[in-house]
Amino acid sequence: MFDLQSLGRILLVIGGTIVLLGLLLVIGGRFFPWLGRLPGDIRLQGENISCFFPLATSIVISLLLTLVLNIIIRLLNR
């Protein structure tokens, strides 16, 4: 069972992570305006509805995160 101090720390870490992700999205939109507009992204628009499936953007972000995390893990294991 958690005590209140450890629960408070967990909530602070989760909140900080959400803030950092929000900042990354805001900064990423300014420095990488082509994200979300790649050739593999699917956009369906009708009269009353629109859907967006960022397939190519998801693949690019996944590859970049994989590279960055692998580099970090390799540096920390030395």
In this prediction, residue 1 has a pLDDT band, given cuts at 50, 70 and 90, of: low
**Hey, what's the torsion of the CAs at 15, 33, 56, 16, to 10 degrees?**
-10
74 and 49, same structural domain? Answer: yes
Residues 39 and 29 in one domain: no
Range of the domain at 25: 1-33
- pLDDT, tens only, 9-42: 999 999 999 999 889 888 888 888 887 888 999 9
Closest CA to 53 of 32, 34, 39: 39
**Confidence band for 47, pLDDT divided at 50, 70 and 90:** very high
Average pLDDT over residues 31-56: 90
CA quadruple 31, 34, 35, 36: dihedral sign? positive
Alpha helices, DSSP H, located in the chain? 4-31, 55-76
Shared domain for 11 and 47, answered yes or no, is no
Give the integer Cα–Cα distance in Å for 35 and 30: 10
